[in-house]
Chain A
């Protein structure tokens, strides 16, 4: 019989002990921080050699393009600043380099055309109870894992059934449908910038308002051009953490914050929307910081909407947001000083309604998209006469 040495015995005993004890604590330690430890960025990529052979009826030369040597072009619309070689397609899938010229493929070919209540955007302080002709062409510069409209935001213009609706026809349709405004929405309108801008210009001439519903990921120059034709906006502030922006959305935070500053400076009516995703955007500390930033940079008057998350698209293994989280965030925002804070996707929540920031009384009672009771005289509170920010008629 061969006996093991003392050293062998000790080694094996140590291994055994480690084997028994390691798995539990090791896993527990890993689980202490629920956030994945590997940093991720889901930003899209340029589609190499993916441009169609030739432009089509729904193309036109893109705005804000910068020509570079060797027939390369840079798209200047959004902060991705895609540098496209010949025959490349942009991250948003809507812009292509054909023979050294940047073209948009999303001009006059919306794939979605609907009439929506303006509250659905959501815009609560702009022409309430009016109807908006909502249009969307395909494309998005983000890759949000919870996208509600992935069927049109994450596809190429060639891959969908679309309408033939050039800017003048959009305006005619809005007039025919008696829509007070045209909303550029559903997908990301930044990707069909030229179509939106031209339509908005014509609509403005006809007295129709233009609503920009966006992720706000746009460069300052095109945004300034856009501000000349839009009347209101709802821009997502998806979180107040750059890492989460990269992980869940494939974008960056700073450009979005700059967008808010520009809209504020340009005196555009805008409202902000934050989808409260459990495990990511549900940290009260982060929300407090976000509200502080809003107050410091944009003032107290721009309405802020906290929306309840429901699992969908690729982010379908999370629970919905607890309602109390939204209630708490609304409270935090109001304590910080933001005057109009709403809770969305929760029917019957008190955060659906508008309360006067002067006297605290109920101004607008909302039941879904309807207003059973309104206590305003033009833009003023019926009870105290205080002025309420927004465009009410």
Chain B
């Protein structure tokens, strides 16, 4: 992820500055910048994960959190010049200590304020989400945006010709280290408050030295360090109490790379929550019967069943068919471990647990199944959407026996299906219909899709009776809840002019976003209008170089989201490799910046070349997608990410050089990158990919960079 912080300004010499030697100032500040980079990246990633455990996890929300962070960070950067002019080492000490204190407070606030401000156990709509994420991240994001240019100001108060690029490089070192620390270590072994403590230890340590430089006494550094450590260590004791649920008691809590697992016990009932949402329960008989018997009752014989995500009741229902094997697929090993430990899943001889991405497994296995049953959340994000595309249905069909059934469900309705829901259902129906000869929809509080190449039967109770399988819910309620008339009506209402949901064009994500807005009777129109207005106004205020950096910020974030999206499609949701992608998108910045610093004398000419390099790289990505798609090796994505970030990193020193690093406009120029990144995150996630698809998004990014390149080669400022 692009970080919201960049060194943003050049300083003016402060005549009141203390007469420390250059090394006494340069080295501790340099270390503070690196340590701040480490701590802030970890804090940013923790903040996103924390929000996702309390808010809807759709693409809009993720993009909104990042947008707020980047945008407010950009404002913090802009504020460094008017408010940080008289920067001092002592001031930097205080600001950095403030960051240390704010990090755990921010996490705590996210956990506590949700239930204080909103009704506990409820989801919130777009505008409350926007306000909530903005207000709670603003103090930290503003300060982090402010503190790095402030660091530069402080250094320049002592070393007037200090290069801004050096700070940028140190910041990148911190960012990369923070990204890697979180992705490869903390996410596996630490809870959020533990991660905050660990990631801030280097900062506390280097702050000790900075305090010593600022105050020239022994007590101040010790007290500053103890205060920071005290807060972070004290915050550890808030970890579990701050996660107490609105109903029941928390009996197990665990952070895994795939999110947060909470097991809540309310009397005899266990409910497993993943990222704040209930996914499995120990008493959900009706749901278990629907999920299992709708598809399995269709088959003449049930020998082999694949279940992607499940719980014990479902397994017990499936066992009524006496299958030879039930393969249970769960990507997160921690989830099954909790299920087994608390009796949400019980071992039996026919069950085989496989920890793997469902789609990846189906692509690799040779086994054929009589039924493949998906028990997944709504496809409102790119990761889940991969299980609702024509390509996935094709993969699943290949692993089904002749009369095999693929089954999955989405949120349904009681008495009336809304237009948006109808679009959703119709799109899935049309997509599945392109692969399977027969697709049957069974309406209810969830709408079940049964897909097969043999005719499907709607009279499930009769079928179960024929098979001598007893049920509690279906036998008593099916005819009343799902009368034939209701099934027929739904099938008659299906729309034909809806887009097919494909890997490269996830229309379903867009429809689900519409559904989310309709649930909360909200429209993003006002928000989009304001954003558009700010952007247009901003364009009128910026120079060519700023525009180039704006588009680079936009382009880089867009490219990163594209790569993550494409990578997931082809290689599955593999956390470790996703962490690697995020890291390479940061890793290229550092050598890029070093190279750019070295080559900055070539100025405008080199900037134009970097623009063309970005266009060429995206062109390669586009060509690769069209020609090779799933045959592209994983390292190609990593190389692409590294290349993009290398060129992006290269542009900063050059642009800084072109603007004149001692001019006040430099702050604005660096802010341009952050603002561009903010817009790039939002527009790529919620507009370009869902509406235009992956190929046209890549094309749009090329077009944007082409405009930027043309602008750079024109004489007048835009």
B276 touching A317, Cβ below 8 Å: yes
Alpha-carbon distance A115/B480, docked complex (angstroms)? 9
Kindly specify which of A29-37, A62-70, A198-206, A258-266 makes contact with the partner chain. Answer: A29-37
Interface residues of A in 294-312 (CB under 8 A from B): 310-312
Measured between C-beta atoms, what is the minimum distance from B34 to chain A in Å? Answer: 25
* A379 contact set on B, CB distance < 8 A: none
B476 touching A347, Cβ below 8 Å: yes
Alpha-carbon distance A320/B270, docked complex (angstroms)? 10
Cβ of B119 within 8 Å of any chain A Cβ, yes or no, is: yes
B284 touching A27, Cβ below 8 Å: no
Interface residues of A in 85-118 (CB under 8 A from B): 111-112, 114-117
B267 touching A247, Cβ below 8 Å: no
Cβ of B417 within 8 Å of any chain A Cβ, yes or no, is: yes
B244 touching A17, Cβ below 8 Å: no
Q: Which of B216, B418, B479 has the most CB of A within 10 A?
A: B418
Measured between C-beta atoms, what is the minimum distance from B336 to chain A in Å? Answer: 20
Cβ of B139 within 8 Å of any chain A Cβ, yes or no, is: no
* B520 contact set on A, CB distance < 8 A: 314
A318 touching B278, Cβ below 8 Å: yes
B234 touching A19, Cβ below 8 Å: yes
* B15 contact set on A, CB distance < 8 A: none
Q: Which of B101, B220, B238, B268 contacts A27 (CB 8 A)?
A: B238
A317 touching B219, Cβ below 8 Å: no
B267 touching A322, Cβ below 8 Å: yes
Q: Which of B123, B472, B485 contacts A314 (CB 8 A)?
A: B123
B284 touching A320, Cβ below 8 Å: yes
* A21 contact set on B, CB distance < 8 A: 234
Cβ of A337 within 8 Å of any chain B Cβ, yes or no, is: no
Also in contact, A347 and B473, with CB within 8 A (given A4-B219, A16-B227, A24-B237):
yes
Nearest A residue to B471 via CB reads A347
B219 touching A23, Cβ below 8 Å: no
Measured between C-beta atoms, what is the minimum distance from A363 to chain B in Å? Answer: 18
B238 touching A186, Cβ below 8 Å: no
A24 touching B227, Cβ below 8 Å: no
B521 touching A19, Cβ below 8 Å: no
Measured between C-beta atoms, what is the minimum distance from A255 to chain B in Å? Answer: 21
B108 touching A319, Cβ below 8 Å: no
Alpha-carbon distance A136/B481, docked complex (angstroms)? 17
B104 touching A317, Cβ below 8 Å: no
B122 touching A112, Cβ below 8 Å: no
Measured between C-beta atoms, what is the minimum distance from B603 to chain A in Å? Answer: 48
Q: Which of B219, B230, B421, B481 contacts A17 (CB 8 A)?
A: B230
Also in contact, A368 and B473, with CB within 8 A (given A2-B216, A151-B418):
yes
B414 touching A31, Cβ below 8 Å: no
B242 touching A347, Cβ below 8 Å: no
Q: Which of A26, A28, A315, A369 contacts B121 (CB 8 A)?
A: A315
Cβ of A279 within 8 Å of any chain B Cβ, yes or no, is: yes
Also in contact, A247 and B475, with CB within 8 A (given A318-B278, A320-B284):
no
Interface residues of B in 263-297 (CB under 8 A from A): 264, 266-269, 271, 273, 276-278, 281, 283-286
Alpha-carbon distance A4/B226, docked complex (angstroms)? 15
Measured between C-beta atoms, what is the minimum distance from A102 to chain B in Å? Answer: 23
Measured between C-beta atoms, what is the minimum distance from A31 to chain B in Å? Answer: 4
Alpha-carbon distance A108/B465, docked complex (angstroms)? 41
B227 touching A12, Cβ below 8 Å: yes
Nearest A residue to B53 via CB reads A317
B476 touching A31, Cβ below 8 Å: no
Q: Which of A9, A26, A116 has the most CB of B within 10 A?
A: A26
Cβ of B415 within 8 Å of any chain A Cβ, yes or no, is: yes
* B244 contact set on A, CB distance < 8 A: 31, 34
* B245 contact set on A, CB distance < 8 A: 34, 279, 319
Binary CB contact string for chain B from 210 to 234 against chain A (1 if under 8 A, 0 otherwise): 0000011111100100110011011
A278 touching B223, Cβ below 8 Å: no
Cβ of B534 within 8 Å of any chain A Cβ, yes or no, is: no
B119 touching A42, Cβ below 8 Å: yes
Cβ of B530 within 8 Å of any chain A Cβ, yes or no, is: no
Kindly specify which of B110-118, B430-438, B618-626, B667-675 makes contact with the partner chain. Answer: B110-118
A319 touching B266, Cβ below 8 Å: yes
Interface residues of B in 82-120 (CB under 8 A from A): 101, 104, 108, 112, 115-120
Kindly specify which of A142-150, A188-196, A229-237, A267-275 makes contact with the partner chain. Answer: A142-150
Alpha-carbon distance A325/B267, docked complex (angstroms)? 8
Cβ of A378 within 8 Å of any chain B Cβ, yes or no, is: no
A115 touching B122, Cβ below 8 Å: no
Measured between C-beta atoms, what is the minimum distance from B493 to chain A in Å? Answer: 8
Cβ of A168 within 8 Å of any chain B Cβ, yes or no, is: no
Alpha-carbon distance A2/B220, docked complex (angstroms)? 9
A314 touching B519, Cβ below 8 Å: yes
B217 touching A4, Cβ below 8 Å: yes
A319 touching B264, Cβ below 8 Å: yes
* A2 contact set on B, CB distance < 8 A: 215-217
Nearest A residue to B124 via CB reads A314
Also in contact, A319 and B223, with CB within 8 A (given A2-B216, A117-B480):
no
* A16 contact set on B, CB distance < 8 A: 223, 226-227, 230
Measured between C-beta atoms, what is the minimum distance from A230 to chain B in Å? Answer: 20
Q: Which of A17, A151, A280 has the most CB of B within 10 A?
A: A151
* A20 contact set on B, CB distance < 8 A: 230-231, 233-234
Cβ of B477 within 8 Å of any chain A Cβ, yes or no, is: yes
Cβ of B247 within 8 Å of any chain A Cβ, yes or no, is: yes
Q: Which of A22, A155, A160 contacts B234 (CB 8 A)?
A: A22
Alpha-carbon distance A155/B519, docked complex (angstroms)? 10
Cβ of A254 within 8 Å of any chain B Cβ, yes or no, is: no
Also in contact, A314 and B122, with CB within 8 A (given A4-B223, A120-B480):
yes
Nearest A residue to B286 via CB reads A347
Alpha-carbon distance A115/B486, docked complex (angstroms)? 10
Binding site for A on B (CB under 8 A): 101, 104, 108, 112, 115-124, 215-220, 223, 226-227, 230-231, 233-238, 241-242, 244-248, 264, 266-269, 271, 273, 276-278, 281, 283-286, 413-419, 421, 445, 472-473, 475-481, 483, 485-486, 519-521
Given contacts A16-B227, A40-B118, A282-B247, 13 further A-B pairs with CB under 8 A are: A4-B217, A4-B219, A4-B223, A12-B226, A19-B227, A23-B231, A24-B237, A34-B115, A149-B415, A315-B121, A315-B122, A316-B122, A322-B269
Closest 7 CB pairs of A and B: A368-B476, A24-B237, A279-B247, A278-B247, A319-B271, A318-B121, A347-B472
Query: Can you list 19 A-B pairs with a CB-CB distance of less than 8 A?
Result: A16-B230, A19-B230, A27-B238, A28-B241, A31-B244, A36-B120, A38-B117, A119-B480, A120-B480, A120-B481, A151-B418, A279-B246, A282-B247, A313-B519, A316-B122, A317-B123, A319-B245, A322-B266, A368-B473
Binding site for B on A (CB under 8 A): 1-4, 8-9, 12-13, 15-17, 19-28, 30-31, 34-38, 40, 42, 111-112, 114-117, 119-120, 134, 136, 145, 148-152, 154-155, 160-161, 186, 247-248, 278-280, 282, 310-320, 322-325, 345, 347-348, 366-370
